[in-house]
Structure 1
Amino acid sequence: MGEAFRGEFYQKVDAKARVSIPAAFRRILEAEDPATADFPRPRVYMVYGGKNRDFVECYSKAGADWLAAEIEAMELGSKARDRAERDMISRSVMVEIEPDGRIVLPAQVRAKLGLGDGPVEAAFAGFTNRFKLFRRDVYDAQFEDEDEDDDVDALTLIGRAKKERGM
């Protein structure tokens, strides 16, 4: 994996559904999707599938290729693979980034996020090899009830995961 998507950024989505991808995220998308004759501009792969998700998961070209390879490694014809292919591959869209760093959010993405016709604010949240795009109020609501956290430090969770992997 290259550089990780890190941080939280808030951007306005205008009435034409245009939004600027944060510069830090654009640098990663550019690095992981070198220009070609067919695609001179970097792309972002937006996964809007999954009925229980209130966000859109966004990958670089390299990240989208990694995701597809992980799904291809699953048992062909299995329910799990069929669901992963449906939610993560079929229900995704590739968008080229404009030279000014903006994209126009496709209709499926706008529907997933519950964006209306008027201007709204979006939240971009880094998640190592991907970032998630939320409507700002939905993202903020996740943190209203932080008492729900089990008071375990995140580093402890990382240590537990390493132990489970036998490291």
Structure 2
Amino acid sequence: MSGKLRFRGESSHKVDSKGRVSIPAHFRRVLEEGDPEYRDAKAAGVSGASPNVVIVYGNSKKDCLDCYTVEAMREIEEKIAKMPAGQAKRVMEYIFHGKSAVIAVDDSGRLVLSAKLREKAKLTDMAYFISGGDHFKIWSPDVFEGAEAVSIEDWMDEQPDDFDPLELLNSVEV
């Protein structure tokens, strides 16, 4: 996704009884840019076109939904296709092909999350969105604060007082 828009920020949104939840406005722009069919439809003047989001829910180790643009998912799928045959490839296919859903963003900028997806992420009345650059995650606010945020803060607490997170990028080549 180099040179393209990235997901940034965090936000909490209400989930209604039908599973509808608003996507943060900036996230919608990234989803639009990352969906070639949406871009083509808009360029052709098609009204009512909606971008899609690919929601991956197959990682049993996480109580959240991993959300990708169509293009980001294609990049992942290309890497999976190049993996050697075996258990690791089958696991990746299971998680990213079998346990994923393509969902259109509605005219109001919302996703309709099925009961299955809401149950996976333990969503009730609120959803917490947090970006990860090339993807975003949807968490129950309570689950995020009770597990994920704590593990990040614990790790940060283990670092020296003068620790600068940018140091982690020193060994990364661009």
Whether the TM-score (by the shorter chain) exceeds 0.5 is yes
RMSD: 1.9
Paired amino acid for 2:103:
V
Taking the aligned partners of 2:59 and 2:123, their CA distance within structure 1 comes to 17
What stretches of structure 2 of length at least 5 have no aligned partner?
none
Q: CA deviation at 1:108?
A: 2.5
Paired amino acid for 1:56:
L
Instruction: Give CA deviations for 1:99-127 in whole Å, capped at 9, x if unaligned.
Output: 110111023311211235xxx11111110
| Aligned equivalent of 2:64 | 55
Is contact 1:45-1:94 (8 Å) kept?
A: yes
Give the secondary structure class of the aligned counterpart of 2:149.
coil
Task: Select 1:91's aligned residue among 80, 96, 99.
Answer: 99
Task: Select 1:147's aligned residue among 128, 150, 154.
Answer: 154
Task: Select 1:107's aligned residue among 110, 115, 130.
Answer: 115
Taking the aligned partners of 1:147 and 1:28, their CA distance within structure 2 comes to 31
Paired amino acid for 2:27:
F
Give the secondary structure class of the aligned counterpart of 1:108.
helix
| Aligned equivalent of 1:44 | 53
Number of aligned residue pairs: give it.
Answer: 158
What stretches of structure 1 of length at least 5 have no aligned partner?
none
Runs of 4+ in 1 over 3 A off after TM superposition: none
Instruction: Give CA deviations for 1:26-59 in whole Å, capped at 9, x if unaligned.
Output: 001011114247x931001000001101111000
TM (norm. structure 1) is 0.86
Paired amino acid for 1:147:
D
Paired amino acid for 2:154:
D
